[in-house]
Amino acid sequence: MSKLLPKSAKVVVIGGGVAGCSVAYHLAKYGWKDTILLERDQLTSGTTWHAAGLVGQLGASATITRLRKYSLNLYKELEKKTGLSTGLKQNGAITVASTPERLQELLRQATAAQLFDVNVESVNKQRIKELYPVINDDDILGGVYMPEDGQADPIGVTNVLAKAAKMEGAQIFEKTPVEKILVKDKKIVGVQTKFGKIDVLVNNAGINDGVGLANGTYEKFIQSLHSNLIHYYLLAQACLPHLIKTKGSIVNIGSKVAETGQGGTSAYAASNGGRNALTREWAVELLPHGIRVNAVIVAECYTPMYDKWIQTLPNPSETLSEIENRIPLGKRMTTKEELGAMVAFLLSSKSSHTTGQLIHVDGGYVHLDRSLI
């Protein structure tokens, strides 16, 4: 599951290009850990992805030169830190002048750059031709050669900065467009995103892991509760402030095992019993907020995980046929579309007066007397 967008942050950086990721990294590095970056699509999906990626150190001012040298060193440092590549290739660069004024300016910049240990060489026309034989030097007077300049992959640089930012504590959210800048008393106080609210929560993750009474251990039993029950509570708790605002709904997915038993799966049975109990408990607790809470109980539904289990048995086809024959309605399994339709119904306004219910979508598997069918 994707992490939830926090309700507040010290800094919000809008845009996941190379500049945005650099800002997020440096803020986090220098102590502003409560920094989040919001990208409307994916990182580098804006102008960054088609940038040239030129890495040059010579600038019109001493400040720009220092920043460019810092960037070059930073790329090398962060490659080691993150284990990712910036695609940096230091194949050198030549800047040429065709007028005396331009040449004088380049030489001035080169002199200033040397004060910051930038590797720069003043070159005449002949040296330029040696370095780049195919150049047309008819109007060239001279220039400067920067042997450590080169080119980097803009996407690679951005990904390196993004990973480094997260390593320093910043959070990055993709597919999160900012729709509005919130202003109060002529000051920016926040942003409104497309995903700024939560209307529903469907708790659906779990696995029948076979932790039984005879073969289980304390550690395995507790781990199974974490895999099948505790995250239901944690997700509901995390979403609760948003659900209160929207008067939303919760649907918990449960299993027949809580009611019928299965054998050899104590932890899973306990977890599903807990899901049913939480459904009723939350329905009561959240009544003042108008939040409805229901559960959909599944008996037999053929999923990829179910298929993986059935294939481990000696006679999978025969066993599957036996299971289907025990299902009263239609002698078939419930489809995932039927389960999805019930979940959608419970989350919709059509079930606006339904809460605290355990709805069995199981073809009569749990409650009908199959000996009479």
pLDDT of residue 195: 66
Q: What is the CATH number of domain 1-53+155-196?
A: 3.50.50.60
Q: Summarize pLDDT for 24-52 with one digit per residue, the tens.
A: 999 999 999 999 999 999 999 988 888 88
Share of the chain above pLDDT 70, in %: 97
Cα angle: 165, vertex 168, 171; to 5 degrees: 55
Kindly report the average pLDDT of the chain as a whole number.
90
Per DSSP bridges, beta strands 93-97 and 142-146 are antiparallel
Whole-number Å distance between alpha carbons of 122 and 330: 87
Tokens 């986090």, residue located: 28
pLDDT at 2 over 70: no
Task: Give CATH 3.50.50.60 domain extents, the chain.
Answer: 1-53+155-196
Q: Of 78-87, 218-227, 314-323, which gets the smallest average pLDDT?
A: 314-323
Question: Are residues 58 and 144 in contact, defined by beta-carbon separation less than 8 angstroms?
Answer: yes
Question: Are residues 354 and 292 in contact, defined by beta-carbon separation less than 8 angstroms?
Answer: yes
Q: Summarize pLDDT for 141-154 with one digit per residue, the tens.
A: 999 999 999 999 99
pLDDT at 371 over 80: no
Structural element, H or E, at residue 296: strand 292-298
pLDDT at 156 over 90: yes
Q: Summarize pLDDT for 186-231 with one digit per residue, the tens.
A: 888 888 887 666 789 999 888 888 889 989 899 999 999 998 899 9
For 153, the 3-state DSSP assignment is coil
Question: Are residues 155 and 149 in contact, defined by beta-carbon separation less than 8 angstroms?
Answer: no
pLDDT at 1 over 50: no
**Banded pLDDT at 168 (limits 50, 70, 90):** very high
Q: What is the rounded average pLDDT of the residues 91-97?
A: 95
Full-model pTM: 0.56
pLDDT at 85 over 80: yes
- Between 1 and 223, residue with greater pLDDT: 223
DSSP type of residue 5:
P
Residue 233 bears catalytic tag: no
pLDDT of residue 306: 78
pLDDT at 240 over 80: yes
DSSP type of residue 70:
H
Distances (CA, A) of 223 to 15, 88, 201, 270, 271: 39, 45, 23, 12, 11
- Between 365 and 95, residue with greater pLDDT: 95
pLDDT of residue 57: 93
Question: Are residues 165 and 25 in contact, defined by beta-carbon separation less than 8 angstroms?
Answer: yes
Whole-number Å distance between alpha carbons of 11 and 205: 33
Among 133, 131, 150, 152, which Cα is nearest to 91's? 150
Task: Give CATH 3.40.50.720 domain extents, the chain.
Answer: 197-372
Per DSSP bridges, beta strands 35-38 and 171-173 are parallel
Tokens linked to 363: 């073809």
364 Ramachandran zone, left/alpha/beta (phi>0; psi -120 to 50): left
For 248, the 3-state DSSP assignment is coil
Share of the chain above pLDDT 90, in %: 63
Question: Are residues 323 and 334 in contact, defined by beta-carbon separation less than 8 angstroms?
Answer: no
Q: Summarize pLDDT for 109-119 with one digit per residue, the tens.
A: 999 999 989 99
Among 61, 59, 68, 71, which Cα is nearest to 95's? 59
Whole-number Å distance between alpha carbons of 235 and 253: 13
Q: Of 15-24, 154-163, 308-317, which gets the smallest average pLDDT?
A: 308-317
Tell me the CATH class for 197-372: alpha beta
Residues pairing with 144 in the sheet: 95, 122
The active-site residue, picked from 145, 268, 302, 365, is 268
Task: Return the number of other C-beta atoms located less than 10 Å from residue 257's C-beta.
Answer: 21
Burial class (CB in 10 A: 0-12, 13-18, 19+), 218: exposed
